[in-house]
């Protein structure tokens, strides 16, 4: 391992780190833009540090970072966690769209290589059966919740804890619609994903 590290092109490695952290800084600033319509104004340094902390948390426990950064900003700026999680969900929806866009560009630009990968891929036995079973279970659960929603809402724990939390998520999710600086949000999103692309690209050099 140390032999590999010694042979690394330091310029490319440092450039990748700089691009990676530039994306984190931009993510922190973009998050602040989502929180402004909810009348929350965290300090720039705190929102950037919270995003940085999320990556550290992900290194320890995969996918824990989103909750960790909400908890961190809740501690430093006193913003309700449900509002924070709602804005994080909004971010994830936007990032998922960007991911699909990058995948589409990659597929169009590398159709031949992609078809070779598909031809050489074998699905496990009964894979489709498990997929269909999972879809049926999900749909059945959703239908049951819709039918029994009035009874479920009357449960004390749901009424006191779950419903207010979900309403807070809804407010956070809607923050992107009430945002005044949508152009700034889009610019940060494009910058973040450009950094993601180039931080990987320079590593291949």
Write the pLDDT tens digit of every residue in 90-117: 888 889 999 999 989 988 888 888 888 8
Other CB atoms closer than 10 Å to residue 133's CB: what's the count?
Answer: 11
* Exposure string over 28-42, b if 16+ CB within 10 A, otherwise e: bbbbbbbbebbebeb
Q: Left (φ > 0), alpha (ψ -120 to 50) or beta: where does 78 sit?
A: left
Interatomic CA distance for residues 175 and 189, integer angstroms:
16
Element containing residue 67 per DSSP (H, E): helix 65-77
Interatomic CA distance for residues 153 and 163, integer angstroms:
8
Residues 151-186: tens digit of each pLDDT: 777 787 777 667 676 776 676 667 666 777 788 989
Residues 19-75: tens digit of each pLDDT: 999 999 999 999 998 888 888 889 999 999 999 999 999 999 988 999 999 999 999
Query: Of residues 87 and 172, which shows the higher confidence score?
Result: 87
pTM score: 0.74
Interatomic CA distance for residues 30 and 198, integer angstroms:
20
């Amino acid at each position: 391992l140390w032999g590999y590290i010694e042979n690394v092109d330091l310029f490319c490695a440092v450039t990748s780190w700089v691009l990676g952290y530039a994306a984190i800084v931009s993510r922190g600033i973009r998050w602040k833009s989502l929180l402004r319509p909810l009348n929350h104004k965290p300090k720039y340094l705190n929102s950037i540090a919270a995003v940085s902390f999320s990556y550290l948390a992900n290194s320890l426990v995969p996918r824990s970072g989103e909750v960790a950064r909400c908890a961190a900003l809740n501690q430093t700026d006193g913003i309700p966690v449900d509002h924070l999680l709602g804005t994080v969900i909004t971010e994830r929806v936007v990032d998922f769209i960007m991911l699909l866009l990058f995948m589409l560009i990659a597929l169009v630009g590398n159709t031949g290589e992609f078809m070779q990968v598909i031809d050489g891929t074998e699905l496990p036995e009964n894979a489709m059966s498990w997929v269909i079973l999972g879809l049926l279970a999900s749909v059945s659960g959703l239908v049951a919740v819709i039918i029994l929603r009035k009874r479920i809402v009357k449960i004390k724990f749901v009424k006191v804890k779950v419903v207010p939390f979900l309403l807070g998520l809804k407010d956070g999710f809607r923050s992107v619609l009430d945002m005044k600086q949508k152009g700034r949000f889009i610019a940060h999103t494009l910058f973040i994903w450009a950094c993601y692309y180039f931080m990987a690209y320079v590593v291949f050099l």
